[in-house]
Structure 1
Amino acid sequence: MNRRWIRRTAAMSAAGALALGPAGCGSAAGGGGVAGSGKELTYWSMWKEGEPQQKALSAAIEDFTAETGIKVKVQWQGRDVLKKLQPTLRGVPAADLIDRNLPQVKSIMVATNSAADLVDVLKEPVPGESGKTVADVVPEKYLELGRAAGKQVVLPYAVVANGLWYDGKSFPAPGKKTPGNWDAFRATLDAEKEAGRAPLALDADIPDYSAYWYSNFVVAAKGPGSFHRAAADKTGKLWKEPAYVKAAERVSSLAKGGYFADGYDASKFPAIQQKWATGKAGFLLMGSWIAGETKPYAKSGFDYKMLPFPTDGAPGAGTPVEATTFGWVVPTKAKQGEAARKFVAFLYSKQQMQAYADEAQGIVAREDITVAPAMADAAKSLKENTPYHTFDGVDMDFAEWWTKTFHPLHTKLVTGKISAQDFSDQLAAQSAGHWKRTG
């Protein structure tokens, strides 16, 4: 998408479309901000200089300033942006606008009531699209992934979907007929074994990557919210119910059945991921960032395809799809909160979202945008199915339990060191002990 064309076509409508009334300014700022001039804002970004996302947003900033006259002072802080901002949140924040995903925002900002509710921004008109508001172009299912404590604390602009990734060129069968459930997909894995290729790739030294398996099996059987409910059970008894034990048995059967590539339990990341990208393993359960991450060393012509994790009896229509969104966050006491919200509304135009998708080669929070071929399956999966928080939100709501109780036990399960029953029994007992200690 040509940036000059964007500027030319949007310039006439930008000023009117971005005008926010006093009510919109006050409510979105949470009432605690210091009034600013509205002629500038400070944006601290989670992206680093040189990343595709940084390049896309840098161009968008130029467009915004050219069309509104509002100057954006940007610092490309990287993934620790919230940790850097945190010391300033009690007073006037060092930034009026940041971007991150919900787990980090929830742990650092929501707990201290320092993230503004951006629900009023949803009512704002999208520049250049007559009659459309932000709420009209961002699906409710993505907005839900940015809510906490009854507030819209993150307004998503980018979406990551988790699923089973494979090379469509060397292994085209799944794309022609998607396995309808786990049993059908298991047959596909068995065929891979018979053909002499490792069916699955996993770097088990990364606990979160290993945890995708059990959490997906639980949700595939019981639906979104089921993994979270068990983690919240202070008695630990839910882990011993049949569906949760069955999920553990699914993981155990993969580990003990030789479905993971050789060395998965002893190598260092990204060794097995590299095997997958060079055609030495069939499927990798991972987020949609995988295409960009492995592109430098993937075999020539690798055709990135993705299957949603197969259902295993989950109730309701559609297949649950693990997802997370990255989006805009305005501190409650932001001095230039009004200017920040104008910038956010500007970026939801179709032209800007398409330009971002083209440069970043990712999925955006508008479903009428054309994505890169490598993202086509993931975008379709999100559109047709039911996205839910990665790990069912357990990692962000029960962080200490997640890292100190679940991770060690699950790593033993996925590497075949304990049985499914032992895992379930120990998880129940250790969870009860954790909650007794922590309250």
Structure 2
Amino acid sequence: MKKKVVSILLVTAMVGTMAAGCGSKKGSDSKDEELSLSVTTTFAGEDGNAPNYKEAVSAFEEETGIKINDSSAVSDETFKARIETDFQAGSEPDVLFFFNGADANSFIEEGKVISIDDIRAEYPGYASNMNDDLIPASLVDDVKYAVPVNGYWEGLFCNTEVLDAAGVEVPGADYTWADFEADCEKIKAAGYTPIASALGEIPHYWWEYSIFNHTSLDSHLEVPKSVDEGNGPGWVEGMEDIKKLYEKGYFPENTLSAKDDETFALFTSGKAGFLIDGSWKVGGIASACQSDPDDASTLDKDKLDKFTVTYVPTNGERKATDLIGGLSEGYYITKKAWDDEAKRDAAVKFVEYMTTDDMVAKFAQHTASALKEAPEVDDAEFNSLQIKAIDMMAGVSSLTGAVQDIFNGECRVSTFDGMPQIVTGEVSAKDAVAEGLEMYAEQTAE
């Protein structure tokens, strides 16, 4: 059986193939002897695509003769700081796979990466297999620099064993907040924890969706000027929704002190019904169903079949099928490489090679892409939860980025770190939101 891999907004494509280097002035089959490129990506460590990346790099080197000096590393705050330091010191790589949000602002402001339009002026076919409407633009100048590969979505994972025991059906595309609360009550009455979440450590997903339920597709990424303006009241209502869920006892008893891996274990061990998390959690759930977490061949397929993923309940203007998600990273070509004629052509070839339809399909799998055309994929290539994720994404009406990626740093402390105080009533939701917005206003004014 064949299924279509989904892209951002509706169902996007990934069919067909695109020859590597199709936009290059030189043929993709020509050898560039003794030429090397420095490349840095986030495909490292436990990233599921790290093996795919290594395999692709080896194939590129064999095909072109271009040596890749790779310095990829796990994405964290230390890595982000390293990238910023490298640009400041003039030691940035020739090609960089990196975030396209606020983390890229500094090197874009300094003109140290080349826009897709400028590259197309010399290489007309560059990223021509991508839907330009889906390529994220820079927050600095609304210009597109990074060619995306795989994206992400955030959805509602369900343990169907728990739901069945409580007489709850798997939520569908019209799932409302009232439906959700009724289901949580049934799950609680059956002796299970309705929601697996460590509010004291990782309130991120509930924070985001609770706010999204009180904003709109067009305005969600707008940080309000104050608690009483724009989306301000919606942010407060969102925090109060979480507080109500806490007061009704729908979170784990130790949700304010537990670690995320503890509450995740509640979910995977059949003690909690719902979990909001990202597309990356598909792999984590599969690993939890393996006798050896590092060996996919030990997967207990019957256990994995008890999990599914669906849409997050709506409590406002958004449809349940409007999810948080997007294409948060992509390939940049730096000015340093562009100004070197030999490296310019090699860098274009490398990015084109890493963003062909087939390559993107391999990296994106059940997540999201910006491809124009979508390939059909064989169910045999995916486990049951991945197939359910693909089916779920086929019904998505839109993907909107996370406002917390804009509202980052110290301004999030009052509502992220301060979530325990909000839900227990020590601090009012309005005061907590106001504190964060005031700090954000100060940061952006500097």
Q: TM-score, normalised by structure 2?
A: 0.75
Q: 2:430 aligned with 1:424, yes or no?
A: yes
Match of 1:374 among 354, 360, 385: 385
Return the alpha-carbon distance in structure 1 between the equivalents of residues 439 and 24 of structure 2.
Answer: 55
Return the alpha-carbon distance in structure 1 between the equivalents of residues 376 and 352 of structure 2.
Answer: 17
Give secondary structure in 2 for the equivalent of 1:41: strand
Deviation digits for residues 209-267 of structure 1 (CA, Å, limit 9, x no counterpart): 313213212212321354543x340x432389654443232111111100012211122
Structure 1 contact 121–345 (Cα < 8 Å) conserved = no
1:90 Cα offset (Å): 4.3
Percent sequence identity over matched residues? Answer: 16
Deviation digits for residues 352-409 of structure 1 (CA, Å, limit 9, x no counterpart): 2333356xx755544536473423444455553211112x2x4335533123x43243
Match of 2:401 among 368, 389, 399: 389
Return the alpha-carbon distance in structure 2 between the equivalents of residues 50 and 212 of structure 1.
Answer: 21
Moved over 6 A (4+): 122-126
Structure 1 contact 409–423 (Cα < 8 Å) conserved = no
Match of 2:112 in 1: 114
1:199 Cα offset (Å): 0.8
Match of 2:336 in 1: 333
Structure 1 contact 85–93 (Cα < 8 Å) conserved = no
Match of 1:302 in 2: 304
1:14 Cα offset (Å): 4.2
Return the alpha-carbon distance in structure 2 between the equivalents of residues 321 and 381 of structure 1.
Answer: 14
1:145 Cα offset (Å): 6.7
CA shift in 2, pair 1:320/1:270, >3 Å: closer
1:161 Cα offset (Å): 0.8
Structure 2 contact 174–319 (Cα < 8 Å) conserved = no
Deviation digits for residues 49-101 of structure 1 (CA, Å, limit 9, x no counterpart): 57531210111112223333333222233324443333332465341112122
Return the alpha-carbon distance in structure 1 between the equivalents of residues 351 and 197 of structure 2.
Answer: 38
Alignment-mate amino acid for residue 409 of structure 1: G
Match of 1:347 among 330, 343, 354: 354
Give secondary structure in 1 for the equivalent of 2:251: coil
Equivalent runs, 1:31-110 vs 2, <5 Å: 39-48=35-44, 51-79=47-75, 80-90=78-88, 92-103=90-101, 105-110=103-108
Deviation digits for residues 107-155 of structure 1 (CA, Å, limit 9, x no counterpart): 54334443332245679687xxxxxx734444733x1376652121322
Alignment-mate amino acid for residue 185 of structure 1: F
Deviation digits for residues 398-435 of structure 1 (CA, Å, limit 9, x no counterpart): 533123x432433422x42447xx21134225633663
Q: 2:436 aligned with 1:406, yes or no?
A: no
Return the alpha-carbon distance in structure 2 between the equivalents of residues 52 and 252 of structure 1.
Answer: 35
Alignment-mate amino acid for residue 416 of structure 1: T
Moved more, 312-321 or 77-86: 312-321
Return the alpha-carbon distance in structure 2 between the equivalents of residues 166 and 429 of structure 1.
Answer: 35
Relative to total residues, which structure has the larger helix share, 1 or 2?
Answer: 1
CA shift in 2, pair 1:380/1:148, >3 Å: farther
Give secondary structure in 2 for the equivalent of 1:158: coil
The count of residues paired between Structure 1 and Structure 2 equals 396
Return the alpha-carbon distance in structure 2 between the equivalents of residues 375 and 112 of structure 1.
Answer: 41
Match of 1:435 in 2: 441
Equivalent runs, 1:188-267 vs 2, <5 Å: 188-206=183-201, 209-224=202-217, 226-229=219-222, 231-233=223-225, 235-238=226-229, 242-267=233-258
Return the alpha-carbon distance in structure 2 between the equivalents of residues 41 and 101 of structure 1.
Answer: 20
Task: Kindly indicate whether structure 1 or structure 2 has the higher relative contact order, using CA contacts under 8 Å at least 6 residues apart.
Answer: 2
Match of 2:177 among 163, 169, 182: 182
CA shift in 2, pair 1:14/1:38, >3 Å: farther
Return the alpha-carbon distance in structure 2 between the equivalents of residues 347 and 438 of structure 1.
Answer: 36
Moved more, 178-187 or 154-163: 178-187
Identify unmatched segments of 5+ residues in structure 2. Answer: 1-15, 27-31, 291-299
Identify unmatched segments of 5+ residues in structure 1. Answer: 1-8, 22-35, 127-132
Give secondary structure in 1 for the equivalent of 2:335: coil
Instruction: Give the superposed CA RMSD.
Output: 3.6
Structure 2 contact 176–314 (Cα < 8 Å) conserved = yes
Structure 2 contact 289–304 (Cα < 8 Å) conserved = yes
Structure 1 contact 49–76 (Cα < 8 Å) conserved = no
CA shift in 2, pair 1:148/1:311, >3 Å: farther
